[in-house]
DNA sequence: TTAATTTGACCAGA
DNA sequence: TCTGGTCAAATTAA
């Protein structure tokens, strides 16, 4: 039914990505542009790149919207206690993206904020302090006893809120049923530049030390970041994307610069880095297409998450850190690489309203 | 001294 | 009026 058109959209996206890749290669000067000076390239080239990016996003959005339409709340019940690969961490992912995004407008103050929740299983004694590493620095700004809940809810905002106007917040609350489970609800997206730079610098390191993509698959198992890096509302799709809150041309330009930098690191060297979905709904939907469509993870314990690739666990917010290592699958013959953390398919999928 | 956390008060939506 | 979310002063930690 819709699968054909979804695949078609994805194929189109791939073609556009190829074009963009070629475009970037052809337009790159002998000396690679720095992240801060990449915007100095010809404006026409820049514009066409932008147009390509928009097309790519459009195709992916269509595909994901189709997926979304055919897969609403398919699974929210399974709760695999997937162990971490190295077993050295104190935290453990219980489930990811357990709750579908709640796009209800919570209040006037945050009426445009998308929400999504994850559950994280923690060891006894782990405080409900929201300090579990998820790639962001959070500052607690409040705590409330919630009616009907055994445990108080902690409110956290991005540390860079005041400096950079980052509006990302999260709420951390122990589950009533299982105090070992933290329910973390994220709201808003990170717009803090430091966050982006962290991605890039970390990934730059990774890329420099691990040549092929496959190398990225197997490395970087940061215990504290095992848990989850899951984000973001749909407006995050690209870091330079269509966030309503980051619509200024300067921001856009900055982010495009970041994007260029990404290509320097990732595309020019190796094609696109891979991505992986974190939402079980996406995974199950894709898997339902065809057994051959995706080669599922071989990890038997991680049945709730399908990772297209585990790569740099420092992808921070945009991707969910894997609980286990899985190989990079080939989707319908596509070498389905994407723009790394710049493209958040998961959010795209889950946050489309 | 600076940054982070705590906690009571305030605000807005239901 | 109740409740959840946020603010901001006081407190604590680094």
SS (H, E, C) A192-251: CHHHHHHHHHHHHHHHHHCCCHHHHHHCCCCHHHCCCCCCCCHHHCCCCCCCHHHCCHHH
**What's the pLDDT at A80?**
34
Enclosing H/E stretch for A349? helix A345-351
Cβ-7 Å neighbors of strand C:
A 106-107, 109-110, 141-142, 144-149, 153, 155, 157, 169, 171, 187
Closest-lying nucleotide for A144 based on CA to C1': C4
Decide: A330 and A213 in contact? Cβ < 8 Å. Answer: no
- pLDDT digits 0-9 by tens, A116-151: 666 666 654 444 444 445 677 888 999 999 888 888
CA distance A208 to A205: 5
Contact call for residues A278 and A232 (beta carbons, < 8 A): no
pLDDT of residue A155: 93
pLDDT at residue A109 greater than cutoff 50? no
Q: Which residues of A18-55 are buried (b: 16+ CB within 10 A; e: fewer)?
A: eebbeebeeebeeeebebeebeebeeeebeebeebbeb
**Which nucleotides in chain C lie less than 7 Å from some protein C-beta?**
2-8
Query: Residues A284-340: pLDDT tens digits?
Result: 333 333 333 333 333 333 333 222 222 333 333 333 333 333 333 333 333 333 333
How far in angstroms lies nucleotide C4's C1' from the CA of residue A104? Answer: 14
Q: With beta carbons less than 8 A apart as the criterion, state whether A89 and A225 touch.
A: no
Mean pLDDT over each residue of chain A, to the nearest integer? 49
What is the CA A132 to C1' B4 distance in angstroms?
A: 15
Percent of chain A with pLDDT over 90: 3
Nucleotide of closest approach to A152 (CA, C1'): C4
Q: In angstroms, how far is B12 C1' from A110 CA?
A: 11
Structure tokens at A137: 């620095």
Question: Taking 50 as the threshold, does the pLDDT of residue A156 lie above it?
Answer: yes
List the structure tokens of A164.
């950079």
3-state secondary structure A40-59: HCCHHHHHHHHHHHHHHHHH
């Amino acid at each position: 039914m819709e699968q054909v058109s979804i695949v078609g959209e994805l194929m189109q996206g791939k073609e556009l990505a190829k074009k963009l890749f070629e475009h970037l290669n052809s337009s790159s000067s002998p000396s690679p542009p720095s992240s801060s000076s990449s915007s100095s390239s010809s404006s026409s080239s820049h514009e066409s790149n932008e147009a390509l990016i928009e097309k790519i996003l459009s195709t992916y959005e269509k595909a994901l919207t189709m997926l979304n339409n055919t897969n609403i709340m398919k699974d929210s019940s399974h709760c695999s206690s997937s162990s971490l690969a190295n077993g050295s961490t104190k935290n453990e992912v219980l489930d990811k993206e357990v709750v579908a995004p709640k796009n209800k407008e919570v209040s006037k103050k945050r009426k445009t904020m998308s929400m999504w929740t994850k559950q994280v299983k923690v060891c006894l004694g782990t405080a409900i302090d929201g300090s579990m590493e998820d790639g962001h620095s959070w500052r607690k700004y409040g705590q409330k006893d919630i009616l009907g809940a055994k445990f108080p809810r902690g409110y956290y905002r991005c540390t860079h809120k005041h400096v950079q106007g980052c509006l990302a917040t999260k709420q951390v609350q122990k589950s009533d049923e299982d105090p070992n489970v933290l329910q973390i609800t994220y709201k808003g997206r990170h717009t803090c530049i430091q966050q982006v730079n962290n991605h890039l610098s970390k990934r730059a390191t990774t890329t420099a030390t691990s040549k092929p993509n496959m190398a990225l698959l197997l490395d970087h198992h940061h215990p504290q970041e095992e848990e989850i890096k899951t984000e973001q509302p749909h407006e995050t799709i690209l870091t330079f994307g269509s966030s309503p809150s980051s619509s200024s041309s300067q921001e856009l330009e900055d982010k495009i610069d970041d994007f260029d930098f990404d290509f320097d690191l990732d595309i020019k060297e190796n094609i696109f880095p891979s991505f992986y979905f974190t939402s079980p709904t996406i995974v199950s939907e894709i898997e339902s297409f065809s057994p051959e469509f995706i080669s599922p993870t071989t990890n038997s314990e991680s049945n709730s998450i399908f990772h297209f690739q585990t790569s740099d666990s420092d992808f921070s917010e945009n991707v969910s850190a894997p609980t286990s290592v899985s190989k990079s699958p080939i989707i319908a013959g596509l070498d389905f690489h994407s723009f790394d953390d710049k493209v958040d398919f998961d959010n795209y999928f889950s946050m489309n309203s």
